[in-house]
Homo-oligomer: A and B are copies of this chain.
Amino acid sequence: MRIGALGQVTGVDPETIRYYERIGLLPAPTRRANGYRAYGPAHLERLAFIRHCRALDMPLADVQRLLHLLDHPLDDCQDVDRLIDTHLAHVQGKLQSLQALARQLEQLRGRCHGQHATAECGIMHELVAAAQGENCVCHGSSVQAPLKNMWRPESQTG
């Protein structure tokens, strides 16, 4: 099958398939007389595997490692477990921070109702407050340094 068909079957853009080949994730297939790539079932299987891992948001480096383990099925599967554990921890961490972020944005959004000039907008005031080093609805205090007299010519930092 040609690259377009493979792309349709797997749901992977042909450009992306070529990209996978370029970075060594998918083995280069044989070519026809006209130079077109000719894929077989092995390629389809491998690409579907890659696509599934990507759907699970695994980085391509991890996918590469899993493919290697697939090619060497006698190795200990602890490597697989560790990889999935690490990835899961990563995803969970991201989830936590995203939840906190959503809460912050919701609070921020609640600062403004109706229409008025930007100068009176609660959201803007809130965002600017952070630049002043005050406590904001979002973060405790993002700028802790004393903003006293760091404007002197040079080098007397205290």
**Which residues of A pack against B, CB within 8 Å?**
1-2, 5, 8-11, 32, 40-41, 44-46, 48-49, 51-53, 55-57, 66, 69-70, 72-81, 84-85, 87-88, 91-92, 94-95, 98-99, 101-102, 104-106, 108-109, 112, 115-121, 123-124, 127-128, 130-133, 136, 138-139, 142-143, 145, 147, 150-151, 154, 157
The 8 Å CB contact of A52, one of B8, B85, B101, B142, is B142
Copies in the complex: 2
Decide yes or no: A117 and B75 within 8 Å by CB, A139-B52, A151-B40 being known contacts: yes
A77 touches B9 (CB 8 A): no
Q: Is the interface of A mostly helix, strand, loop or mixed?
A: helix
Residue numbers in B under 8 Å from A85 (CB-CB) = 109
Residue numbers in B under 8 Å from A52 (CB-CB) = 127, 130-131, 136, 138-139, 142
CB distance from A71 to the nearest CB of B (A): 10
